[in-house]
């Protein structure tokens, strides 16, 4: 087939995928051209279209869950920063949520099409009344809190890191308030990992804490994910000293080829 402003795609000699080259068009910046070229050549983008996921981000959660087993049938899940809905789709499948028995509650200030099995709020999670709305929709404690929230990037790495770390911190505070004992918290952070104060809080409240970079996360991306498993519960956390394991700000060793 032909791509806008680019060469045809398909199979080359020996069945190899042909690389799509995108020409710079009037009104398109060089960075936009690079982004478009990367999208057209991304196997996860192609796979998401074939398999019906709304974004390639779905595979990040799939890979993390296949390895760390945080989602199971019947669990209640909160998805923060859900748009366009890839993580919610995976959560629905793995906890077996349905419209008649919804187990997934999602929120994003961006517009997002409804998903079967998801109670959706188009709202800024930072709004004062957002946490209460999510808790009311849950109807009880959560088993898993997911956060793929990230502040719009400025191009300044330190600023972007601090802004996204703040979103991770408020997501963690919410998780501590809604998780049941044994629950899990998974959140996006940027390169450099979580701040020491956040890591301390997570280690005090969870049995294990890891930084992860799943294969679906582009190698050149600054994103990492922090996974905290085995929520101790409020009373236990107050009594314990930090005991959780953290493998540092780099990727989980087991992801490396």
Q: Is 160 annotated as a binding residue?
A: no
Q: Is 79 annotated as a binding residue?
A: no
* Catalytic residue check, 49: no
Catalytic-role residue among 60, 76, 188, 213: 188
- Closest residue by Cα to residue 233 from 207, 198, 200, 194: 207
What the block records as the tokens of 89 is 């789709």
Q: How far is CA 7 from CA 21, 39, 43, 102, 159, in A?
A: 6, 14, 17, 45, 38
What the block records as the tokens of 174 is 């919410």
Question: Cβ of 154: how many Cβ atoms within 10 Å?
Answer: 10
Q: How far is CA 106 from CA 44, 115, 170, 182, 244, in A?
A: 23, 10, 16, 21, 28
Helix axes 157-178, 196-205, angle to 10 degrees: 20
Q: Is 8 annotated as a binding residue?
A: no
Q: Is 240 annotated as a binding residue?
A: no
Q: Is 246 annotated as a binding residue?
A: no
- For the annotated binding site, the residues are 85, 87, 108, 124, 148
Active site residues: 188
- For the annotated binding site for S-adenosyl-L-methionine, the residues are 85, 87, 108, 124, 148
């Amino acid at each position: 087939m032909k791509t806008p402003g680019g060469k045809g795609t398909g199979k080359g000699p020996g069945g190899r995928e042909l690389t799509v080259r995108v020409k710079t068009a009037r009104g398109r910046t060089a960075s936009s051209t690079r982004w478009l070229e990367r999208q057209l050549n991304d196997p996860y983008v192609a796979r998401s279209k074939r398999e019906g996921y709304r974004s390639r981000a779905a595979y990040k959660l799939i890979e993390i869950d296949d390895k760390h087993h945080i989602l199971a049938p019947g669990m209640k899940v909160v998805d923060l920063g859900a748009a366009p809905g890839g993580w919610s789709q995976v959560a629905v499948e793995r906890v077996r949520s349905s419209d008649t028995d919804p187990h997934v509650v999602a929120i994003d200030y961006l517009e997002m099409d409804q998903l079967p099995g998801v109670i959706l709020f188009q709202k800024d999670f930072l709004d004062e009344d957002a946490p209460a709305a999510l808790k009311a929709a849950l109807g009880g404690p959560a088993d898993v809190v997911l956060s793929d929230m990230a502040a719009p990037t400025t191009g300044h790495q330190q600023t972007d890191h601090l802004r996204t770390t703040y979103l991770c911190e408020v997501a963690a505070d919410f998780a501590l308030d809604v998780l049941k004992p044994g629950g899990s918290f998974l959140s996006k952070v940027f390169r450099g990992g979580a701040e020491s104060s956040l890591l301390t809080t997570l280690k005090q409240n969870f049995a294990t804490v890891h930084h992860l970079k799943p294969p679906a996360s582009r190698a050149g991306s600054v994103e990492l994910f922090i996974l905290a498993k085995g929520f101790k519960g409020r009373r236990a956390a107050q009594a314990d000293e930090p005991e959780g394991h953290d493998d540092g700000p780099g990727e989980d060793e087991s992801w490396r080829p």
